[in-house]
Amino acid sequence: MMRQVIMRSAAVIALAVFVVALEGAGAKPGPKSIPAAATPATKQATTLPAEPSRPSVRYIDAHKDAAWALAVTPDGKTLASGGDDGKIIFWSLPEMKPLKTVEVGGLVRCLSFSSDGSRLYSRGGPGFDIAEVDTADYSLRTFRVEAMGSVLLVAPFAKDRKLVTVTASNVVLIHDLQDVAEKGHSRFLEKRKVFGGFIRHTALSPDRRFLAVSSQNKVANRSAEPRKLTVFDLDGQAQIDYTFSSNREYNSSSFAFSSDSRSLLLYAPKKPLRVFTFDRKKGQWSVSSVEMKVPRSRSYAACVGGDAVMYVGSFDRLGFFDRRWKKFRELVRLSIRASKGYPSDGIQNLLWVQRPGLIAALHDGRLAVIDVTTRGKVPASQSTTTLPARVEQAE
């Protein structure tokens, strides 16, 4: 008796399953399977920066010894590099063909073009000599400035009427270039004291108005000694001092100005991205933070391409911050020189070249040219992609 009941129950269940299957095959789509085009309730498409494509990298063994300095003309057509071999090499952009090599003597640690690109300035020779190269015929002349310690940065500003130098003795000196033309030497017109006794990094804004310097006190091994980032206004007195929270933040940080010279971006491992913004109407600086996923790696150099993207170089990696992505993304990994004569020093300098869409980097004594463009001359990190709109299912 029990067996018959079980068999009848199984037959009923099988029949019910068969009927449901037939109804499903011939049924019309219900409200939850409405096509996307017929759905009235949709959310707007979201636009986000596109994933960057891997850029091409070209290596050039430009200098026999380590290379440290880079500069580009305002029109983006000529690049200059300098190194410990005492040579300045001029390159055409974007072909990277060598145009001329000029020997200035001494260590070339800083380079800067005039506002019209007609002259290039560098530290030249021993002492406080400044080298000036005429880019029309590559003729060289040197002149002496009244300085205090070896020159770490030299650049013309104020429509090329003045020259600013940063020296190892932690002073910023402003010279009159008219004296150089008439007398062959120059006394400083103005002196500004930099905090501390050691300078780690310097950066000059594209419009040559602001100078950023990071420094610490003379007792370098004491972690309690304060370390500061100072931003000078070369045309006025607006100044801001930022105190680093730790020795690690100071030693691992790098900074660069935006292309419009209104902001200074400061990177430090495991810290928010600091943004220093200058209000030209009020003549004051303000500081804000952008919370991002920041890697732990130490930064050796930085540059800014456009207003939203900051490129940062570490030991052998080049990545970028994009405020829209809110995180750091690796762009390319540079190959390390295998020669025993060139121990890897990491990325020592980065330079953004706006018009060709290139980044020039100095790595292991070599000049690396990184093409970060995808669609024409748009940087890969600044292109956008549109995500499909999401469809709300009807109840």
Q: Is the pLDDT of residue 307 over 80?
A: no
Q: Is the pLDDT of residue 339 over 90?
A: no
User: What confidence tier does 297 reach under pLDDT thresholds 50, 70, 90?
Assistant: low
Average pLDDT over residues 308-327: 75
4: β partners: none
Nearest Cα neighbor of 73 from 348, 375, 356, 310 is: 356
pLDDT of residue 344: 57
294 within 8 A of 341, measured Cβ to Cβ: no
Mean pLDDT (the chain, rounded): 74
User: What confidence tier does 7 reach under pLDDT thresholds 50, 70, 90?
Assistant: low
> What percent of the chain is predicted at pLDDT more than 70?
70
Q: Is the pLDDT of residue 21 over 80?
A: no
Each as own residue / partner, the long-range contacts of residues 83-90 (CB below 8 Å, 24 or more positions apart, any chain) are 83/107, 83/108, 83/365, 84/108, 87/63, 88/120, 88/122, 88/131, 88/133, 89/62, 89/63, 90/135, 90/138
Instruction: Measure the CA–CA gap between 37 and 265, rounded to whole angstroms.
Output: 45
| Least confident span in 129-143, 265-279, 330-344 | 330-344
Interacting residues of 172 by C-beta distance below 8 A, sequence separation 6+: 164, 165, 166, 191, 192, 193, 194, 211, 213, 232
Interacting residues of 184 by C-beta distance below 8 A, sequence separation 6+: 143, 144
Average pLDDT over residues 318-347: 69
Instruction: Measure the CA–CA gap between 171 and 161, rounded to whole angstroms.
Output: 20
120 within 8 A of 135, measured Cβ to Cβ: yes
Q: Which residue has the tokens 């309730």?
A: 41
Nearest Cα neighbor of 250 from 223, 218, 277 is: 223
User: What confidence tier does 105 reach under pLDDT thresholds 50, 70, 90?
Assistant: confident
**pLDDT 10s digits, 106-121:** 788 899 999 999 999 9
pLDDT of residue 101: 94
The one-letter code for the residue type at 325 is W
User: What confidence tier does 376 reach under pLDDT thresholds 50, 70, 90?
Assistant: very low
User: What confidence tier does 3 reach under pLDDT thresholds 50, 70, 90?
Assistant: low
Q: Is the pLDDT of residue 273 over 60?
A: yes
**pLDDT 10s digits, 159-188:** 999 999 887 777 888 888 888 777 777 778
Q: Is the pLDDT of residue 244 over 70?
A: yes
Instruction: Measure the CA–CA gap between 244 and 200, rounded to whole angstroms.
Output: 13
Average pLDDT over residues 144-149: 71
pLDDT of residue 340: 45
Could you give all domains of the chain from N- to C-terminal order, each with its CATH number? 64-193 (2.130.10.10)
Instruction: Measure the CA–CA gap between 16 and 14, rounded to whole angstroms.
Output: 5
130 within 8 A of 143, measured Cβ to Cβ: yes
pLDDT of residue 126: 58
User: What confidence tier does 216 reach under pLDDT thresholds 50, 70, 90?
Assistant: confident
Residue 105: exposure state from Cβ atoms within 10 A (0-12, 13-18, ≥19): middle
